[in-house]
Structure 1
């Protein structure tokens, strides 16, 4: 655990402006490319095969990076981790189900399915840690909470999608479950098993492999949106509906930020723990969600990932403001150890 925190720590300043994630711009550029030059015919088959391989490789890297030992070390703070997991995989999905009442007046059914899928994906890791550190919160708790959420999401997100999305998730069937196991669980397990031998290599080449992550996700997005363009899915979305989706997501984020902060107080967590709960329990992972959606939704993945892409940028902007405010709060608890030093590293492929 101590080694992880030391690796993550770098000198930083709190952001003076709202962060516009450059990776979001790349994602939008990829969407634009798919709209102008969608993959068709043989090109679509090649892109689909490459996307499948990219997803498997992504989850292999996730498994190779996740230190099970460090995650288990954090079990002593089990109440906090159970709280974050409950927010991520219980409260969020319940709010997603409640949003069903917005169809069809405010949201179309495909956009609602994407919104519901958004509520099922795991929490972030890197940005949760970075924002918790900026706000002088419990950084070790944020590290463990993000790791637990990512690990649980490998299993829980597909299961929740099977139960709550049903046929909307591209026709969920036994074949779909086999595809999920082969593309997500098997590569992740392989990464965990081989971590003993390749963990050092992955750590030393973290920057280069980060570019591989980003490139793989861009390929997944291009393939998904190309399929959507070829099938005419985007004719179902109007600017008014997109505006309504943004408003709904803003409300969703606001509700979760309030619940995690005041709920933590009601559960008698200290201020540093409440900060970790708020940042780890209110956010969703773009890096995990995009490839999962590609597997779960197939040709309909383009609309399914749109709410997640918008929510990702929104959560970065709002949480940056909150982190700055928490850091300046005169009521914050005194800093007692090295874990309260600021960290950076908010990544566009925040897992």
Structure 2
């Protein structure tokens, strides 16, 4: 199966299925002598792992990462980094009801049509279980970016029609500390309580709900991104849209910008007290002409409601006969609380890759 690798210089390849022995990732292109904090990598995986709270799936996985290669004496060696995460709590019997029946809005039909075979146990390779490998790789990318003072932070900015107010970030760690005080991972405490109550009510009714994650990239230097096909926002968009259940991506002013006049939308250049060029506003979302301009990069990612609902729905079987299916097993009523570290990881992978590529853009 093609399409399992991402990035050019900082490149990852993930492998494994939801109900296989393990999932994992190989990172190629990470510079040597980067200090690797295993506790930090595990803490990132802990934010994504299942079974965290009443508003997430109750599948119990420790997501304990094993580093098999590429690290010596606590530092990267410049060789491929292999990371493995065993699957510990598979319950394949939970999926015996859909061996020959297609679940609505899942990848069952498309995989069967494309390959002539599919792993019905949790969707196999199409399962969001695969994203744990991305988070592990993204943690390495974030450690690399931290050496340059670049921070990638995100939070849940909406659940259904409940929207958090816009939040300014002065300190990345303070933002993360505030976000982690609640199980929905929203940095606004009052909105978080509303979101949690709504998700819990939806869960009890056997239904699911979508939401949005807003991500900020702080202290990104000017010049990352390529001018035509590898624009920075294009690569960020591809990264986000590769995440399970993502149905939308917008950066800066996004779709609202289409309703503004140019005189309102233009980001006027100024020089700050440090003599640095910046803009009065940031409708560009930190990216102009596909290249970072030094302002904070801000984008939003929209997640659809989880397709598996605990209600009976009409469908068809592999022969096209009418059938009925009802969700079973352990599933998230809303993916966005666990999607926060995935969004951060994919953003970090994009920025790390473009940072490495940009080092060769000017003869020094």
- TM bucket, shorter chain: under 0.3
Higher helix share: 1
Q: Report the TM-score, using the length of structure 2 for normalisation.
A: 0.26
- Structure number with greater CO (CA < 8 Å, separation at least 6) is 1
Q: Report the TM-score, using the length of structure 1 for normalisation.
A: 0.27
Higher strand share: 2
Which has the greater radius of gyration?
Answer: 2
